[in-house]
Structure 1
């Protein structure tokens, strides 16, 4: 499949909604719920997020499950009144992963069968919304592929990891989409895990559901600040504990470099580096 043509504007005011690489058009709003679990400690991104939600709410129904501190919650409620449904996490739900508690709350409140779950830095455009909606007619869970835009230095670096993942399978994005009926029937997913996206995919598959990770479905993601990126490295390492084969491959890099240097065979390092770049290039070329 090839990707659908995209308008350069995320939400053109009058354009119809593209629903997939082989599908037709569905004008106007989509019967989709967009669930945004949120827990902010400061509000520097409020204006930008509000602009995004304003365009998004013209196309789909939006529920923001906000676990921010009371003063920030009140500020968000004022900014988004009449724009999206703004709710606190269900106080009766218990678990250590606040994002999962927000997702559980949001899907329980959802008004539609098709539900998109997205972090606060994910930025869908109209084509992406329509493609996910169409795919959910055929599968129980959709795993899009994120790309950073803009690209500061650390986003370039992290994009290397994304390309390697795409070359061998698919990258893990900050967004998934799921059928509400499947999610509720399987009882949601475990709120006491760290790598919550992997847990949701595994739970859907264990329940007997079907999943899709189309390489052509690219969804924009805003890069974090450099300080936040550095702070995420420990979290990223913990996530890799849930993927032992990938973890072992990563752990082998430094000992392999030391062994090559000790054996006075720098050519091995150059060949390994060239092979890594070649694999990443395969990931870049996959579905555009």
Structure 2
């Protein structure tokens, strides 16, 4: 659907660090986006020759810039650079594989009038086999607090007042949401706000398996449950035989189907999506044990050229840090808030 009407007063922040030029993949989308959003910002950490190719292709519809700081999780430095540069209070942060349509942009911006953080539902378009596999994860997550998309809506002033969010963690979207909530912000998870996302190449899909399992270090109860799936499955097979294991798989399919039916999900997910739930549950069961070993013996999961130990910061710790920074006041507070990302934030009125 083409964009139309006058641009809305909002900022769209897209952090990118590409190994190959994304001119063909992104130029058309950014041009359409620039006609409906007043302030489109691409924060580009790509090598020089790729950065220059992007600059030539995107100079019209976007503000194209380098990140002003490097964080261990480079995406956070890119996001915070864009947030600092943003001209508007309402900001949409999105990965380079996310594709909004005008109705979805209008919906998320409408929700940002009432909430400080908005977490929509991504859907893969198109849907090769590995996208359908990963869709099962989304369906199960819809029953347990919502999925974790590659895009969020956020209010600029609240994020800056909180001091930004840590660039030293792996699960950066959870870190951002926890930070906003720790600062007193309200979150909404509209499960019927479906935003398209391009599926990754198969090779990249496989490279994400352990890393996504490692994210669950940030949510110990879920991590423990996923670790328990392997011994639980073995015990179930020993006690009840293959029939019991098939019954457990059927329960997984049923749960995913409930997720598909929730909040109008049948309009976005195909009926076959739920059938992939046993495959995803089996994958997560085994990769959770690899993630456990990675954390205990290797010092964290590999992220680009380094390793990240922490998945996300506990909310109670974030609340304490934010309160301490607020209590100290003045420039010292800004220094304390900025120390977690390597950035220093201007005072926000």
Q: What TM-score comes out, normalization by structure 1 length? A: 0.88
Q: Does the 8 Å CA contact 1:37/1:66 hold for their aligned counterparts?
A: yes
Q: Distance in 2 between matches of 1:33 and 1:245?
A: 36
By how many angstroms is 1:168 displaced? Answer: 2.3
- 1:128-165 superposed Cα distances (whole Å, 9 cap, x missing partner): 10001100100101001101011111101000011000
1:243 pairs with 2:216: no
In structure 2, what is the equivalent of residue 277 of structure 1? 253
> Which of 143, 148, 164 is 1:167 aligned to?
143
Report matched runs for 1:250-265 at 5 Å: 250-265=226-241
- Identify the residue that residue 29 of structure 2 maps to in structure 1: 52
Q: CA deviation at 1:249?
A: 2.0
Whole-Å separation in 1 of the counterparts to 2:84 and 2:36: 21
- Note the C-alpha offset of 1:271: 1.9
1:240–1:247: 8 Å Cα contact kept in structure 2? yes
Q: 2:12 aligns with which of 18, 34, 39?
A: 34
What are the residue-to-residue correspondences of 1:129-208 with 2, within 5 Å? 129-208=105-184
How far is 1:189 from its partner?
0.7
Residue number in structure 1 paired with 2:278 = none
Distance in 2 between residues matched to 1:148 and 1:138, nearest whole Å? 28
Question: Does residue 62 of structure 2 align to residue 77 of structure 1?
Answer: no
Number of residue pairs aligned between Structure 1 and Structure 2? 263
Note if contact 2:23-2:53 (Cα within 8 Å) is conserved in structure 1.
no
Q: Distance in 2 between matches of 1:32 and 1:206?
A: 24
Deviating more after overlay: 166-175 vs 246-255 = 246-255
Looking at structure 1, the residues matched to 110 and 226 of structure 2 have their Cα atoms a distance apart, in angstroms, of: 36
- In the TM superposition, residue 264 of structure 1 has moved relative to its aligned partner by 4.6
Listed as ranges, the gaps of 5+ residues in structure 2 are 265-349
How far has the Cα of 1:238 moved from its partner? 1.8
The one of 111, 118, 123 aligned to 2:94: 118
Greater helix fraction, Structure 1 or Structure 2 = 2
State how far apart, in whole Å, the 2-side matches of 1:157 and 1:133 are: 31
Q: Deviations over 1:198-229 (max 9, x none)?
A: 00110111111111111111100000000010
Which aligned runs of 4 or more in structure 1 are off by greater than 3 angstroms? none
Match of 1:228 among 171, 186, 204: 204
Matched, 1:86 2:64: yes
Gap regions ≥5 residues in structure 1: 1-8, 15-26
Q: Distance in 1 between matches of 2:17 and 2:85?
A: 18
Distance in 2, Cα, partners of 1:82 & 1:264:
64
**Worse overlay, 261-270 or 242-251:** 261-270
TM-score (norm 2): 0.73
- The CA RMSD measured in Å over matched residues stands at 1.2
Q: Which residue of 1 aligns with 2:85?
A: 109
**Which deviations, in whole Å up to 9, do the C-alpha atoms of 1:104-143 show, x marking residues without a partner?**
1000000111000000001111011000110010010100
The reply on whether 1:210 has 2:177 as its aligned counterpart is no
Instruction: Assess if the C-alpha contact under 8 Å between 2:120 and 2:195 holds in 1.
Output: yes
Q: Which residue of 2 aligns with 1:23?
A: none
